[in-house]
């Protein structure tokens, strides 16, 4: 049987193909983005799409399921917050075709604004939870989730974490199994959740949960690996890999189906080991339930509930291995590298169209209500031009709230949001300020892509996930359609025009939108000539205040790295001495 090295995300996509998924939807978000990117490669058999947000993704998946097809919906952990509304009701209605929801959690916040343990969503919604510990399991659990979904009439949550999503391991490759679309049958008592019908389905959920508890006792993805019985471990997901390596002689109860728990299996395992540990990343999800069963365990009283676990942490906290030994091991590992990795602080790309906006906002000393996207880097030095970032789509409502709280913010505050994020959930905030008569000025940074997660398409970009041409959303008309009468366009590198326009709109007593247009450098098909420093340079370092990585101070002189220079001319716009020219390397001041 052929095998292939795959990340967990690639394996989930392969599972969608092999196990008969017909519809897949997502909004991009690390660490889940590659799931849909890889599913789109099977466009001949699976329809796939980027939806405007995770709630819509799940609604598409629910619709496909009710229509009789197997469906998969993927999102990062915070995306499930957005999708929680349909989630909490589809648990009542159940499914027709199998429905699997992927939640890719991010312990350690490698690329996220918070750290949350979405296993609690399974318990909250009373739906089954699966947790793979490698890529092979990630693929197989897509199939298992679809089977469970159809057998028990429920959506299934498949939870991965960053290490599973992005780590590579071998996966067996099989052919696709075609699963026919189930015939549609009108059933308003099942799919119309008015109170009278929902009360009946509430009873169905509890009965289903009891049946799932029985299933949890017998499914082979929950199994015991007996070894020495001095230490027993109950674990799931990637924590199984850490436990297996850190405690090679321990007996382990591995839970691939981790909600509802197999209580009889846990009681039996606990009765046969001298000391029982619950090893799980983040919150004491299993530990709390097992303690409630009256089982004596060690868990978060020994292990941290912040960030990722590691083999070293387990050996230190459980075996009492000294810090000195751990530090020595770390030193050996560090010495294996021939050269230390250079420090590389996060920064906006050279030529990024957002740089001119944040340079201007900082110059104007405005309060900036920001949002989620690569433009969040505008909060960092040397730009330091963002005051708040909370969640997707927050910025406009947040600015409105600040102005309500303190009239001093009016005329001094702007909301900043990207095109994809605006369509995700930001548009709701704009409707709110129009409806409630706010005067907030909103800047939509339209770079024609979803840049932060890797240039995925969105309803503004003119292409679908499967590469087909798409009708573009006209942001100007959209803003006017929801009641904003003052909508303007600006160029991010024309700083004078941009500043004048922002000043003009801040002085107006009604809501306004400035759409700042320029494509991300990774989707811009235009070519621009790089710039160089000439003899007029006084080394005043004003050009360094824009934070462009192409501009460096070398041997006491400002130089332009022409390998990095995009030719946006922003540095020449801020130079007071006409010291920056268009021109190739060789005229001086380049490296």
Feature table: binding site for [4Fe-4S] cluster: 537, 540, 543, 548, 565, 568, 571, 575
Listing DSSP states for 326-337 in one string gives: HHHHHHHHHHHS
Question: From CA 137, how far away is CA 132, in angstroms rounded?
Answer: 5
Tell me the HSE value of 32 on the side-chain side, using a 13 A CA sphere. Answer: 27
* Sheet strands (E) in 403-440: 413-418
- Whether the CB-CB separation of 72 and 16 falls below 8 Å is answered with yes
Q: Which residues are annotated as a binding site?
A: 537, 540, 543, 548, 565, 568, 571, 575
Question: From CA 383, how far away is CA 360, in angstroms rounded?
Answer: 9
Tokens in use for 36?
């849909």
- Whether the CB-CB separation of 355 and 545 falls below 8 Å is answered with no
**DSSP state, 587?**
S
- Alpha helices, H only, 104-231: 119-125, 135-152, 162-166, 188-191, 195-218
Question: From CA 110, how far away is CA 453, in angstroms rounded?
Answer: 13
Core vs surface per residue 434-458: b (16+ CB within 10 A) or e:
beeebbbbbbbbbbbbbbbbeebbb
Where is 516: in which H helix or E strand?
strand 512-517
* Paired residues of 267 in beta bridges: none
Tokens in use for 507?
């002085």
* Paired residues of 555 in beta bridges: none
Give the position of tokens 């941290």: 304
At residue 472, φ and ψ (nearest 5 deg) are: -85, 140
Please state, in angstroms and as integers, the Cα–Cα distance from residue 136 to each residue in 18, 247, 290, 344, following that order. 13, 23, 28, 34
Among residues 360, 411, 358, the alpha carbon closest in space to that of 389 is found at 358
């Amino acid at each position: 049987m052929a095998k292939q090295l795959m990340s967990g995300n690639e394996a989930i996509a392969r599972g969608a193909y092999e196990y008969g998924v017909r519809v897949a939807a997502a909004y991009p978000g690390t660490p889940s983005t590659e799931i849909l990117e890889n599913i789109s490669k099977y466009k001949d058999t699976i329809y796939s799409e980027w939806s405007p947000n995770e709630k819509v993704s799940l609604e598409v998946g629910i619709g496909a399921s009710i229509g009789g097809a197997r469906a998969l919906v993927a999102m990062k952990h915070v995306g499930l917050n957005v999708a929680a509304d349909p989630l909490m009701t589809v648990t009542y209605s159940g499914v027709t075709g199998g429905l699997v929801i992927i939640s890719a959690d991010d312990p350690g916040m490698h690329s996220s604004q918070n750290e949350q343990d979405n296993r609690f969503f399974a318990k909250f919604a009373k739906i089954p939870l699966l947790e793979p510990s490698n890529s092979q399991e990630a693929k197989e659990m897509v199939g298992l989730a679809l089977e469970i979904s159809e057998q028990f009439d429920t959506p299934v949550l498949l939870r991965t974490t960053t290490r599973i999503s992005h780590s590579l391991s071998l996966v067996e490759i099989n052919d696709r199994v075609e699963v026919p679309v189930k015939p549609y049958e009108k059933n308003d008592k099942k799919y119309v959740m008015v109170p009278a019908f929902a009360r009946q389905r509430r009873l169905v959920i509890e009965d289903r949960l009891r049946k799932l508890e029985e299933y949890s006792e017998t499914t082979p993805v929950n199994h015991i690996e007996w070894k020495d019985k001095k230490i027993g471990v109950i674990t799931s997901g990637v924590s199984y890999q850490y436990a297996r390596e850190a405690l090679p002689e321990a007996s382990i109860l591995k839970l691939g189906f981790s909600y509802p728990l197999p209580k009889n299996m846990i009681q039996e395992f606990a009765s046969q080991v001298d000391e029982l540990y619950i090893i799980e990343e983040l919150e004491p999800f299993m530990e709390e339930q097992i303690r409630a069963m009256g089982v004596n365990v060690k868990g978060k009283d020994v292990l941290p509930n912040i960030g990722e676990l590691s083999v070293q942490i387990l050996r230190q906290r459980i075996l009492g291995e000294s810090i000195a030994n751990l530090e020595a091991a770390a030193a050996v590992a560090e010495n294996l590298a021939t050269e230390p990795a250079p420090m590389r602080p996060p920064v906006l790309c050279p030529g990024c169209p957002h740089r001119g906006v944040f340079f201007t906002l900082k110059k104007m000393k405005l309060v900036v209500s920001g949002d989620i996207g690569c433009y969040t880097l505008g909060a960092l030095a040397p730009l330091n031009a963002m005051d708040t970032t909370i969640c997707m789509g927050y910025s406009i409502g947040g600015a409105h709230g600040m102005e309500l709280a303190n009239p001093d913010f009016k005329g001094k505050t702007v909301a900043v949001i990207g095109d994809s994020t605006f369509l995700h959930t930001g548009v709701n905030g704009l409707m709110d300020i129009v409806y409630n008569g706010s005067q907030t000025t909103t800047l939509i940074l339209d770079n024609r892509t979803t840049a932060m997660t890797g240039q995925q398409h969105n309803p503004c970009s003119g292409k679908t996930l499967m590469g087909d041409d798409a009708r573009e959303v006209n942001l100007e008309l959209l803003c006017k359609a929801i009641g904003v009468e003052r909508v303007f366009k600006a160029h991010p590198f024309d700083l004078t025009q941009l500043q004048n326009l922002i000043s003009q709109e801040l002085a107006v007593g009604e809501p306004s939108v400035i759409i700042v247009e320029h494509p991300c450098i990774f989707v811009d098909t235009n070519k621009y000539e790089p710039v160089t420093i000439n003899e007029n340079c006084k080394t005043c370092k004003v050009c360094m205040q824009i934070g462009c990585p192409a501009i460096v101070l070398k041997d006491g002189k400002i130089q332009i790295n022409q390998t990095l220079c995009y030719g946006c001319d922003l540095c020449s716009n801020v130079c007071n001495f006409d010291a920056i020219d268009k021109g190739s390397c060789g005229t001086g001041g380049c490296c």
